[in-house]
Amino acid sequence: MNKIGDKIRRLRDQKGFSQESLAFELGLTQPSYARLEKHDERISIIRLIQIAKILNTTVSELIDEKTQKISNQNNNEIANSYNVDTINTIINADKDHISTLKEEIQFLKNLLEKK
């Protein structure tokens, strides 16, 4: 299930942005941006912050983060667990994104060499 990507797409449509215009604002190509909406695990935290600013919303809104009252004792345990999981997710997503970018660059180089 692609919750974040779907939420971004819905908000983008509601605000009247095309994929091309949002991609331009983010410094991406339209196909690269489209992949972010389809495969939201590739969205880095920095990119998520940029998208939230453009769409005039918050990162919490994009990820449907629910706020809860938690006792102070459990709060630190949850925060530590969340940070480790979040950091690992970001690292893996960034590695995948870099790999994809390398493939795209190689593809474009090959196209240029053929001309």
With a cut of 90, say whether residue 55 has pLDDT above it. Answer: yes
Which has the higher per-residue pLDDT, 74 or 110? Answer: 110
Q: Which residue has the higher pLDDT, 17 or 104?
A: 17
**Mean pLDDT score across all residues of the chain:** 78
Does the model's pTM come out above 0.75? no
State yes or no: pLDDT of 96 exceeds 60. Answer: yes
| Residue pair 90/45 in contact by the 8 Å Cβ criterion | yes
Q: When comparing pLDDT for 81 and 22, which is higher?
A: 22
Distance, CA of 65 to CA of 52 (rounded, Å): 14
pLDDT at 51: 92
Our count of domains for the chain comes to 1
Question: pLDDT tier at 82 (50, 70, 90 boundaries)?
Answer: low
Q: In the chain, pLDDT over 90 holds for what percent of residues?
A: 26
Report the CATH number that the domain containing residue 78 is assigned in CATH: 1.10.260.40
71: pLDDT strictly greater than 50: no
Residue 48: which residues within 8 A CB-CB, separation 6 or more? 4, 59, 62, 63
Q: Could you list the residue range(s) of the whole structural domain that residue 68 is in?
A: 3-114
